[in-house]
Structures are given as structure tokens and as C-alpha cells.
Structure 1
Amino acid sequence: MENLHIVFWLFKDIGWCLIYKPLGIVMIFPTLIISIVIAFRTRHMVSELCHNLAITFWITANSYWMISEFMAIDTLPVYSWLTYKHLALIPFFIGVFCLAYYYLIWQPKHPNEIETM
């Protein structure tokens, strides 16, 4: 499933790069759904869960950014210097916070814990 997830992700970004909107938009759904399923399946392992949640938020941000470009609203201002493209920073930062939690909080408190499936 993880390998298929990468294939969908690549096709989504190829659609974005080629400005082929149907491919880019359609590929959001299997890419995002599989990343959510992978995160759910790894929920018992904090390390994997945090990394897979970061990937899910990355795909969300990436997909929003792509759609904002397709709709030609990416450079429109939301407030002052903030544009619609900048709103993609919200899920990007949520992903960073997932990883920061793991590396700065959880892992130091559990240095000897070995995670298994």
C-alpha cells in the first residue's frame, strides 16, 4: 500500500507540473486516503504515527497549493502580504509540529522503548 501511495502522489504532482488539472485533482483522493489509512494502521507505534501524520499533512498542504494554482488564486492577497498560497503553511506546520512532538517530547521521554507492530 505504501508503494502504491507513492505512485498516486507522483501522478498528482505530474498533473500539477503539466498543469493537467483533471489528473492532479483526481489523484488527490487516493493519495490522501491511502496516507490516512497508513497513519491509522500505524497508530500503535508513536514514531510511525507521527511521521505518517506529517506525510498526510504534507499531502494536504501540497494538494491545497496545487488547487490554489489551478484556480489562479495562489497570488491573490488574503490579508496584507498573506496570499492564498501561504495558507498551505498551516498544514505544513501541523506536520512539522507532529515531528517536533515526536523528536523533542516523546522520544526523549522513552529512550529505551522499542516499538514493534
Structure 2
Amino acid sequence: MTVTADAALHGPPSSAGLAELLRAPVQAALAARADALRSTLPVRPVTAADRFAWWTSLNAAQARNAALVDHLDALIGHLAGRPVLGCAPHDPMPTAALDAADGFTDALTARLMALYRAGRGPGSA
């Protein structure tokens, strides 16, 4: 199914159509955020022992940023079809991904995100 932004804003969009339309810009916003944070951190080692030493060497702000990078990477994976803990496996656009992308997208994407949230109704996670 292909949905255009114009159709989504002027017709009654389906939740699935909006999720499809939002996937790429939300992934891009999350990736840009993760990359910006990652660039402020020391290079993350590959081995488990080195990663432990790396984590313990970080100050509090760096540790928060590193944890946020991990969270953003997990959400990006979920949007790419690799379900993440805390999000329903069948949910194409988890609220956590929308929340993490808030303020990091253009005006059109922000409007589409608001339409998607409104279509989900209250209490949807």
C-alpha cells in the first residue's frame, strides 16, 4: 500500500497507511538523534569485557546518552521489523518511537504523527 502525504492530510487516513507513511521519516529522525549522541561518546568497544570498562568509565551524562543511543537503536530496529522488548511485535509504529522522534522531525511529519496518535485513541501504548 502506498500512501501520499497529501492524501493522508486531506482524506480519512487509515492507521496502517499512516504507519507506513511515517516509518521512513521517524526512522530517519531516530537515526539522526542516535548518530548525534553517538558522536559525543568515546568509541564503543566490541568485546564484552572492554564494553564493561567503557560503561564504567563514562560520566553520568555520557552514560545517559549511551543508554538513549541503545534505546533509539532498538526502536529503529523495531521499525525495521526486528521487534524490541516493551513494544508489541505487531505494532508498526510504537508510541515510544513517536515520543522519541517528537521535536526532531519536520512540520509535516509532526502533523502526521499527531493524526496517527489521534487515530490510535487514548490509552494505546
How would you bin the TM-score normalised by the shorter chain? 0.3 to 0.5
Say which structure is richer in helix. Answer: 1
Q: TM-score, normalised by structure 2?
A: 0.35
Say which structure is richer in strand. Answer: 1
> Which structure has the higher relative contact order (CA within 8 Å, separation 6+)?
2
Q: TM-score, normalised by structure 1?
A: 0.37
